[in-house]
Amino acid sequence: MDQANNTIRNVVFFLVPEFTMLAFASAVEVLRLANRGLGYQAYTWRLSSETGGSATASGNMQIAVQTSAEDERKLLNGADRPSFFIVCGGMNIASHTTKTTTALVREQHARGTAIGGLCSGAYILAMAGLLSGKRCAIHWEDLPGFQEKFPKADVHADLFEIDGNIYTCAGGTASLDMMLSLVAKDFDDDLVNRICEQMLTDRVRASTDRQRLPLRARLGVQNARVLTIIELMEANLSEPLSLLEIADHIGLSRRQIERLFSQEMGRSPARYYLEIRLDRARHLLVQSSLPVVEIAVACGFVSASHFSKCYRELYAKSPQQERAERKQLLVA
């Protein structure tokens, strides 16, 4: 069989420094097993990096690549032009986003190439201007900073999103689900089932399946009313609800809520609410360049001074110190 005539997708995996190995490897393995199941090379791929040098994953493993960004730009005019260009992101994505990379992503998109982002790769797609008004997914840990920096992107805490020819996933094993959905689109569920059997996974998760463990499992809390209250709190961080508003919403008295939280969480509802708002603030401090005062407002604090006081009491450092320490880690 003429493999060249039967190739349906030529994929480029563009490896950004500190990319997540699990997300990358899961995506490649789906394509490899699809080819094995079909008996021919329906999918071909190559690896690329900005300089053409080896790419280092977040686990400090080095992967050799075949092309540089400049090589990929030249290949756009020939037979080896990709049909799918996937940016493989990972840790510290903002510091690894360059004009060279975003320009290449824009050029690929302008030529009709499907564009993908694994893990935090969506950040580079957004910096390239491709996610305005587009549904996209990113890892839950990167979500707060992403929402603040790219308000025009329709970002969701889903496993993956496909909007036209833009593919994004949250990373980890979510890239497995996204690539399996691609194979299902290209071929059929029978091939997908055979791949799943080879990978010892029992199903393809839906794009809207949750990224994080359910609250019940994550917090070890069984009381349904407490879980409902926490969900309300997490949905209202920038404009915190009063305890009376929460009580009215779920049909309990303020005293009943305080007693439930004391029993189940070991602290008052007000204290727990404060902690999750400060946790969101911590993510914004290390993931974004937003001024401290804007972070304070985004997390429901009436002033930067009140925010700083609360932050120092919980983390034993000021917001400014948190950000400075993070910058030092990136430089080291």
Q: Please say if the pLDDT value at position 86 is more than 90.
A: yes
Buried b (16+ CB within 10 A) or exposed e, 90-101: bbbbbebbeeeb
What does residue 288 show for φ and ψ, rounded to 5 degrees? -130, 170
- The per-residue pLDDT for 1 is 38
Q: Residue written as tokens 């003429």?
A: 2
Residue 322 sits in which domain range?
Answer: 215-331
Tell me: do 169 and 233 sit in the same domain: no
Q: How many secondary structure helices (H) and strands (E) does the chain include?
A: 16, 10
Do 191 and 38 contact (CB within 8 A), yes or no?
Answer: yes
Last residue of a domain, one of 166, 199, 232: 199
Tell me: do 80 and 167 sit in the same domain: yes
% helix, strand, coil for the chain, step of 5:
50, 15, 35
- The per-residue pLDDT for 217 is 62
24-64 tens-digit pLDDT: 999 999 999 999 999 999 999 999 999 999 999 998 999 99
Cα(193)–Cα(319) distance, rounded to whole angstroms? 49
* Pairing of β 9-15 and β 160-163: unpaired
What does residue 94 show for φ and ψ, rounded to 5 degrees? -60, -40
State the DSSP H helix or E strand holding residue 325, giving kind and residue range, or none if neither: helix 319-331
Tell me: do 269 and 322 sit in the same domain: yes
Q: Residue written as tokens 């809207």?
A: 208
106-138 tens-digit pLDDT: 999 999 999 999 999 999 999 999 999 999 999
* Reported confidence tier of residue 143, pLDDT bands at 50, 70, 90: confident
Tell me: do 220 and 325 sit in the same domain: yes
Whole-model pTM: value is 0.75
Flag whether 291 is in a domain: yes
- The per-residue pLDDT for 5 is 55
CATH number at residue 118: 3.40.50.880
The 3-state DSSP class for residue 321 equals helix
Q: Please say if the pLDDT value at position 332 is more than 70.
A: no
* Reported confidence tier of residue 104, pLDDT bands at 50, 70, 90: very high
* Reported confidence tier of residue 4, pLDDT bands at 50, 70, 90: very low
Is the dihedral angle over the CA atoms 98, 164, 177, 217 positive or is it negative?
A: positive
Q: Which residues contact 59 (CB under 8 A, 6 or more apart)?
A: 21
Flag whether 207 is in a domain: no
Least confident range of 96-100, 234-238, 305-309: 234-238
Tell me: do 150 and 53 sit in the same domain: yes
Flag whether 110 is in a domain: yes
Tell me: do 240 and 155 sit in the same domain: no
Tell me: do 219 and 258 sit in the same domain: yes
Tell me: do 183 and 267 sit in the same domain: no
Flag whether 181 is in a domain: yes
Do 115 and 163 contact (CB within 8 A), yes or no?
Answer: no
Q: Please say if the pLDDT value at position 331 is more than 80.
A: no
Tell me: do 290 and 150 sit in the same domain: no
Give 311-319's long-range contacts (Cβ < 8 A, gap of 24+). 311/278, 311/281, 311/282, 314/274, 314/275, 314/278, 315/278, 315/282, 319/281, 319/285, 319/292, 319/295
Number of domains making up the chain: 2
In DSSP notation, 122-137 reads: HHHHHHTT--BT-EEE
CATH number at residue 231: 1.10.10.60
154-192 tens-digit pLDDT: 998 889 999 999 999 999 999 999 999 999 999 999 999
Tell me: do 320 and 228 sit in the same domain: yes
- What mean pLDDT is predicted for residues 218-240? 86
Tell me: do 238 and 99 sit in the same domain: no
Tell me: do 226 and 252 sit in the same domain: yes
Flag whether 209 is in a domain: no
Last residue of a domain, one of 149, 167, 199: 199
* Pairing of β 135-137 and β 84-88: unpaired
Last residue of a domain, one of 164, 199, 234: 199
State the DSSP H helix or E strand holding residue 163, giving kind and residue range, or none if neither: strand 160-163
Flag whether 45 is in a domain: yes
Tokens standing for residue 22: 């699990």
Is the dihedral angle over the CA atoms 26, 31, 37, 39 positive or is it negative?
A: negative
Flag whether 205 is in a domain: no
